[in-house]
Amino acid sequence: MKKYFLDPVSPNFSTFLDYMTQLNNKVEQYVKPDMARVPSSITEKYAGLLEKENLSEDGEDLDSVFSRLAYYSQGLIRWNHPGALINVNPPATIPATVVSSYFSLYTPNGAQDMSTGYLLTTELAVVKMLSQLAGIDYKQSGGYFTFGGKSTNIHAIKHGLQRISPDYGTNGLSGDIVTFSSTQGHPCHAEACNWLGIGDKNCIRISTNKMGEINLEELETRMAESIEQGKKIACITVNGGTTIQMTIDPIKKVADIRDRLVEKYHLNYVPRIHVDSVIGWVCLFFKDYDFDKNPFKFSDSALQKLKRQMLRISEIKYADSFGVDFHKTGFAPY
Ligand SMILES: Cc1ncc(COP(=O)(O)O)c(C=O)c1O
């Protein structure tokens, strides 16, 4: 067994690399370089596969475990292949993958600097850099790593609930709570309500115009209606680049509506505005691009689209929070 662990006195790192190579050699047997997807000869259903999977009393040697893992890589999409164009799934870079695999040797715990040391600085640094990118004073902002895009939306709504009732974590939810999104918003905007006990039916979906942007008049009317019915608004989730269409809603105008209603109805809390920018945040990188000189020589049509998206996403600073996914447009692995 000892050979499976790094020796604490004379760490033999080459074992790590040898095992990587061993696994890679086995997976590569299934890969066809000209195909985006690893071809699959598996015809059984999961139930059939499970019948063959049993806890072994005697253990199993690593070579056999790797062979069986490689067998299951059939059907895997290779995102680095130019033919892989499904959804927003950029390939992970090799350095990003190395960093995550390498530090896994030490199982750092993102919740504890006691065991993780100064590696947690990376979280603070990333939050600072993203604040700078968004034009927000990093000394006033905060943020943290979560477990994915859905989780960024869950966190935003949770914070919205805390605004309505600061002791909701202790006492639980009370009263009628709603959230807002548009019909083009991701399904997880409602799933987040499900997870938080608000209920997916209380995520009110506002219609969109033909460009997929949220209908502002309808949003204002439906928000006012909810307030008049005594409901509390935990969050307005604004699109900051939708999954297929890359639609970015008018963030500032939504913030203006929220502010108007807070004043009109003398609300004792401010409904949270969260931008689901897990894909579109990346457009912020173009805020300093010289669109006149166009040094990257983008085509006219690409240049116009990039500029429009950049101008729209630059309004992110008017929201209370926004989400960023590195496994989408950050070339990092999940
Ligand atoms: C706009 C948007 N929001 C949220 C999500 C959910 O992200 P995740 O699958 O990482 O939970 C996705 C995923 O595709 C998305 O495209």
Q: pLDDT digit string (tens) for 246-265?
A: 999 999 999 999 999 999 99
Rounded to an integer, the average pLDDT of 202-227 is: 98
CA of 279 to the centre of ligand 1 (A): 8
> Which atom of ligand 1 is least distant from the CA of 151?
11
281-316, pLDDT tens digit by residue?
999 999 999 999 999 999 999 999 999 999 999 999
> Which atom of ligand 1 is least distant from the CA of 243?
16
**pLDDT for the residue 2:** 84
Rounded to an integer, the average pLDDT of 216-241 is: 98
Judged against a pLDDT cut of 80, whether residue 324 lies above it is answered with: yes
Judged against a pLDDT cut of 90, whether residue 184 lies above it is answered with: yes
CA of 65 to the centre of ligand 1 (A): 32
Residues with CB under 6 A from ligand 1: 148-150, 186, 188, 242-243, 276, 278-279, 325
Judged against a pLDDT cut of 80, whether residue 195 lies above it is answered with: yes
3-state DSSP helix/strand/coil % of the chain, to nearest 5: 45, 10, 45
Domain locations in the chain? 2-86, 134-325
Question: Hey, how many other C-beta atoms are within 10 angstroms of the C-beta on 106?
Answer: 12
> Which atom of ligand 1 is least distant from the CA of 325?
10
Quote the CA–CA distance of 95 and 18 in Å, as a whole number.
Answer: 18
Choose the residue to mutate in 146, 151, 186, 248 for probing ligand 1, maximizing ligand atoms within 8 Å of C-beta. 186
Helix axes 62-71, 14-28, angle to 10 degrees: 40
Q: What is the pTM of this model?
A: 0.94
CA of 273 to the centre of ligand 1 (A): 18
Given a contact cutoff of 8 angstroms between Cβ atoms, the answer to whether 128 and 138 are in contact is yes
134-325: what CATH class?
alpha beta
Comparing 84 with 156, the larger pLDDT belongs to 156
Give residue 85's pLDDT band: very low, low, confident or very high (50, 70, 90): confident
9-50, pLDDT tens digit by residue?
887 889 999 999 999 999 999 999 999 999 999 999 999 999
